[in-house]
Structure 1
């Protein structure tokens, strides 16, 4: 199976999961449509899966050569693994989805992270990875955190319980966020180290 075909399959899985989740949100909407859309795109899970699906789409159609630059796939892989790990460790026990919601839930938080990890192993140019890339990789999750805290202050909506400043207070939210930042740093250094090891 060629890289482009694999990219296309992964892109289709990604877009199906995102669109299905959006359908489920609209189907069960209990707030204004505009607010529901803002909240939908306020989840790190959704935003990161959109990045993943977009990346695979561009790869499948061989668009924008810059996305092949070493480190971009690694950053995306780390982001989606954080989605998966945080869900499995913290969030899975907080609800019990059924039917289509369960399928979509597993795709977004379990299957897609595994697919991206496999793709990284097969196609990332690992010998070009270096520790200096970690700081730029951190821009996206940091911007997301700032956005969520600022919007949450004005809207009282926080997409995840561990960053809910209303219930936890800002000090605990900062501690929780720092813990996730440490997870990000540890994963980033691990991927760079593994990349170097695999290319010896």
Structure 2
């Protein structure tokens, strides 16, 4: 790991542990639910990989694990770059905020599902944002960076629409074309993109506080 990030190594290790526990626990719960509902393991995996929360927490797993275990490798260097740390931080922060604002009242998870829910939507986002503040404090990332980071969200949105057209199921109600139609779903997607940019620029401002670093 880069020396300027060495002080955050224990935190990064904690993030890796929490994030891996979260995604693996949710995988177990998704497969258990699918099988219990008379579906196949394959259908359970399709359901699992449909959620932006799951995909972004997996991104955090890579962002925390690769720089720890293989810092000199191509993935380790990529996930150690300030712009990449910023991208992952903005994405996982968006997960937590969007869930809190839009989805926390939709269901009341219990037991292990409650634990997975808390880890995926609250603990991992908070930990990674704290890490990003340590790693990026004083670093002036480009103001255009959030536009590039939002490609990830846009690609996910297209993926969900194509996936939904094929299997007839959508992971989130506010982009459920079968109930809302394409016009409303795309409009809601535009609002989410705007919210992502707001979150990203607030983080950019946070990271710029402190002594300027190259």
Query: TM-score interval w.r.t. the shorter chain?
Result: over 0.9
For 1:196, the equivalent position in structure 2 comes to 208
For 1:39, the equivalent position in structure 2 comes to 47
Matched, 1:177 2:154: no
Would the aligned equivalents of 1:77 and 1:116 in 2 still touch at CA under 8 Å?
yes
Would the aligned equivalents of 2:133 and 2:206 in 1 still touch at CA under 8 Å?
no
- Report 1:114-125 matches (<5 A): 114-124=126-136
Match of 1:77 among 89, 92, 102: 89
- Secondary structure of residue in 2 paired with 1:65: helix
Matched, 1:54 2:62: yes
Stretch moving more, 128-137 or 7-16: 128-137
For 1:130, the equivalent position in structure 2 comes to 142
Match of 2:167 among 116, 139, 155: 155
For 2:26, the equivalent position in structure 1 comes to 21
Would the aligned equivalents of 2:63 and 2:80 in 1 still touch at CA under 8 Å?
no
What is the rounded CA distance, in whole Å, between the counterparts of 1:59 and 1:72 in structure 2? Answer: 12
* Backbone CA RMSD of aligned residues: 1.6
- Secondary structure of residue in 2 paired with 1:131: coil
Deviation at 1:121, TM superposition (A): 1.0
For 2:118, the equivalent position in structure 1 comes to 106
When normalised by structure 1's length, the TM-score is 0.94
- Secondary structure of residue in 1 paired with 2:82: coil
Would the aligned equivalents of 1:5 and 1:60 in 2 still touch at CA under 8 Å?
no
Match of 2:14 among 1, 9, 13: 9
For 2:3, the equivalent position in structure 1 comes to none
Would the aligned equivalents of 1:165 and 1:173 in 2 still touch at CA under 8 Å?
yes
What is the rounded CA distance, in whole Å, between the counterparts of 1:27 and 1:142 in structure 2? Answer: 30
What is the rounded CA distance, in whole Å, between the counterparts of 1:150 and 1:126 in structure 2? Answer: 41
